[in-house]
Amino acid sequence: MFRIMFFAPCIPPNTGNAIRIAANTGCELHLIEPLGFTMTDAQVKRAGLDYHDMANVTVHPDLETAWDALAPERVFAFTAHASRFHTDVEYRPGDVLLFGPEPTGLPDEVLADSHVTEQLRIPMLPGRRSMNLANATSVALYEAWRQHDFDGAV
């Protein structure tokens, strides 16, 4: 399946929601420190409901450690500054969908990282900065999974 990566997430409920997304889709969720919360934070637990034990979540101390562990073939970095839409890609299992922290998004040094295959955007109306992190993750992930006929779903 696909791999979701949050670089330095700040808002606990968004990570809790991502835990639910990972549990419901069979994706891995990779969190890159520093986190703006602890994994025992009540807001993370509340948003994740009872899905924490069903999700595959890994916390990495830094991006290099995550790259070493994942050895990704393709990494798609999501940014409002990209020109190509998330629907213009043919996703493959094992792809990493990389998202940045709220409210700043991915820093330039991460966007320029040699592991990043391409930068993608989710369409929005003009004058809007960004989508909610958990919502953006859902939009991108479900497009990737749809392209594979929702393999494994009921």
CATH of the domain at 13: 3.40.1280.10
State how far Cα 74 lies from the chain centre.
14
- pLDDT (tens, 9 = 90+) of the chain, 154 residues, equals 899 999 999 998 899 899 999 999 999 999 999 998 887 767 666 655 567 778 899 999 999 999 999 999 999 999 999 999 999 999 999 999 999 998 899 999 999 999 999 999 999 999 988 899 999 999 999 999 999 999 999 8
Task: Establish if 152 belongs to a structural domain.
Answer: no
Task: Establish if 72 belongs to a structural domain.
Answer: yes
Task: Establish if 154 belongs to a structural domain.
Answer: no
CA neighbours within 13 Å on the CB side: how many for 106? 25
Task: Establish if 151 belongs to a structural domain.
Answer: no
Is the pTM higher than 0.95? The answer reads no
Task: Establish if 42 belongs to a structural domain.
Answer: yes
Could you give the number of structural domains in the chain? 1
